[in-house]
Every structure is written in C-alpha cells, then in structure tokens.
Amino acid sequence: MIERVGFFQFVETYSDPLGELAKCLERENVRNALIVLPEGFNLGREYNINPCCKGQTREKPRFDAHCMLQFLSGMAAAREGLRFVGAVIDEYRRNCGYFIDGKNTPTLMCEKINSDGSCEYGPGKELQSENPIEVGDLAIGTLICVDAFQQVQPDEQGKRANIRRQHLFDAFGASKCPKYLLCIPAYLTADYLVPDWGKPEEEKEYWVVMANSSRARESYMAVNGQKQDFPSSNRDQNVIRTVNFEPKSRYGADKGSITESSR
C-alpha cells in the first residue's frame, strides 16, 4: 500500500547524491511512500553542465548504474514501505527509468527516447517493459523528462516518443486501478504544462510528480491537472516533499495534506 507520494528535488552537492538523499529522508515521513528521483541520478555532477557539440559524448557517470540501483534498493529496504522511481545512465549510455521497492530486483520501466541536446546519453528504445506497474490501487508509470510531454513538431525520435507516451496513457485508462501516477525524473530548465492525457474517468484520479535537478524550475506534484501548493518554496535547496493520498473531494481549495522537508 502506498500512502504518500513525493519528489526529491536535487539541486546542490551533486557529487554526493546518496548522502544528500539520506539526509532528506531522515527529515521526512516516508513510511509507505513513493519518492520520485531526478534524471541522471548517478552522474555525480550537474546534468548538462557545459555546452556540448554534436557528436561529442560526456564523461561517464561517476557512479555505476548497477551499484546505484543496489544502494537505492538498500535504502528502500531499510525503511518501511519506501519505494523509488528514478532514472540512471548506464554503461551503454542508456537513460533508463526504474521502479525500486527494496524487495525485488529494480524493474526497468523505460528508456528516454527524445534527444535533449545534452550528449549525456544515446537514443533509447521503446521497450516491452512493465510500464505501468500496479501497486495496490495505484498504477505507476514513468517517462523521463521531455518524453513525458507531447512533441508538437517531432523528428523521428519525437514521433516514437509520442507513440510510446500515448501507449502509456492508454494503459492507464485500461487499468482497473482508481488512481494512476505519472513519475517524471527530469532535468528541466524550461516551463512545461502538466502532461494532459484527456479527461479521466469520473471515478478515477490522475497524479503527476516531476522531480527536477535544475534550479531553473521547481519540482512539482499535480492532481487531475492542478499543481499542488506547498507552505514554502525554495528551488535552491535539496528537499523531499510528500503529500498524503486523499479522497478526491479533498482537492481544490483544501489541496490535501502537505508536508515538506529540506536539508
């Protein structure tokens, strides 16, 4: 049972992702929570920090992807009901999204398809993978950064990403779960509208959680297309923020039960 959902906004001390995550976890109620981690979590440096020329590749991540996933699994196993969704770049330069529950081998959910000009990764594939994953009454899907947003004038990669995006949204609609959650590990420097996949069925609600590692844009959560407000906001701090899942009638003026924690 997942009772809380949230994000880890990771915008400083990039050289120590696990240490910074551990500090924030100690200050937040993460019992039976799902936390979304940002893109390139194993880089050990800021994503796309310097301009990159076409055809170049960047230095490899400082933390091996498999080791990072093992450490995250251990952190999840050490806390009751904690789960992660995050993205790491592996030895083949694939930008991969995983579901991590601390009990099973991390589950590969997707590869990033769109190019963002960063030279951090190579072109991804549309995988036959577990995306979404159902946990209790929640269907959990993930798309990495710009793959979560409709490409208006797509190149070939963008067309494939749009098709994969629609397949995920169709799978959400076909799920019998009353809630569905789109997790977006990201490094976003521009504003994007909350992803919209049409009007959900009346008895369902859809959640979006975007975890960002750029100071330019804050991470966010949204319920049925509406971003949730928090008591305070600081895009320059590493922070975990979570919300309780609440009955649909709680949203609107009340916005649900919201807590926050920062380093």
2 to 82, 105, 243: CA distances (angstroms): 8, 19, 11
The yes-or-no verdict on residue 73 having pLDDT over 90 is: yes
Q: Cα separation of 92 and 160, whole Å? A: 20
Q: What is the pLDDT of residues 15-39, one digit of tens each?
A: 999 999 999 999 999 999 999 999 9
Over the stretch 192-239, which tens digit does the pLDDT of each residue have? Answer: 878 866 555 667 888 999 999 999 988 999 988 888 876 655 778 999
Q: Among 56-70, 143-157, 182-196, 223-237, which stretch is predicted with the lowest mean pLDDT?
A: 223-237
Asked if residue 254 has pLDDT above 80, the reply is: no
pLDDT of residue 176: 92
Q: Quick one: three-class SS letters along the chain?
A: CCCEEEEEECCCCCCCHHHHHHHHHHCCCCCCEEEECCCCCCCCCCCCCCCCCCCCCCCCCCCCHHHHHHHHHHHHHCCCCCEEEEEEECCCCCEEEEEECCCCCCEEEEECCCCCCCCCCCCCCCCCCCCCEEECCEEEEECCHHHHCCCCCCCHHHHHHHHHHHHHHHHHHHCCCCEEEEEEEECCCCCCCCCCCCCCCCCCEEEEEEEECCCCCCCEEEECCEECCCCCCCCCCCEEEEEECCCHHHCCCCCCCEEEEEC
Q: Where are the domains of the chain?
A: 4-262
Which pLDDT value is given to residue 197?
61
Residue 52 has pLDDT above 80, yes or no: no
Q: What does pTM read for this prediction? A: 0.90
Q: How far is CA 153 from CA 39, 136, 162, in A?
A: 24, 38, 11
**Mean pLDDT throughout 173-194?**
90
Q: Which CATH number fits domain 4-262: 3.30.1330, 3.60.110, 3.40.1350, 2.60.40?
A: 3.60.110
Most confident range (mean pLDDT) of 90-104, 109-123, 235-249 is 90-104
* pLDDT at site 124: 87
pLDDT at 256 over 50: no
